[in-house]
């Protein structure tokens, strides 16, 4: 699937969690691994406007274009 970053969300913090990657690990029952951050994303090329957290690298988190992602998504809203 392709995902796209949601900009302007860096100031948001998850209630009850130390970080967004911790939130992602809890919701997906997965371990993110070294160097991953919890990025706010939505599915690209889709009518689904749901926001998700994805375990991505800092480099991916800085992208302004859709990119391929093969991991799990943790639904936000």
pLDDT digits (tens, 9 = 90+) for 46-64: 999 999 999 999 999 999 9
Helix (H) or strand (E) holding 61: helix 58-61
Domain ranges of the chain: 2-75
- What average pLDDT score do residues 8-29 get? 90
Q: If you count DSSP H runs as helices and E runs as strands, how many of each does the chain have, helices first?
A: 2, 5
User: How confident is residue 17, by pLDDT bands cut at 50, 70 and 90?
Assistant: very high
């Amino acid at each position: 699937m392709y995902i796209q970053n949601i900009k302007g969300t860096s100031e948001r913090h998850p209630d009850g969690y130390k970080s967004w990657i911790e939130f992602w690990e809890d919701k997906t029952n997965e371990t993110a691994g070294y160097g991953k951050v919890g990025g706010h994303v939505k599915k690209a090329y889709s009518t689904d406007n749901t926001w998700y957290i994805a375990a991505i690298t800092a480099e991916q988190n800085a992208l302004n274009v859709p990119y391929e992602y093969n991991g799990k998504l943790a639904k936000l809203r």
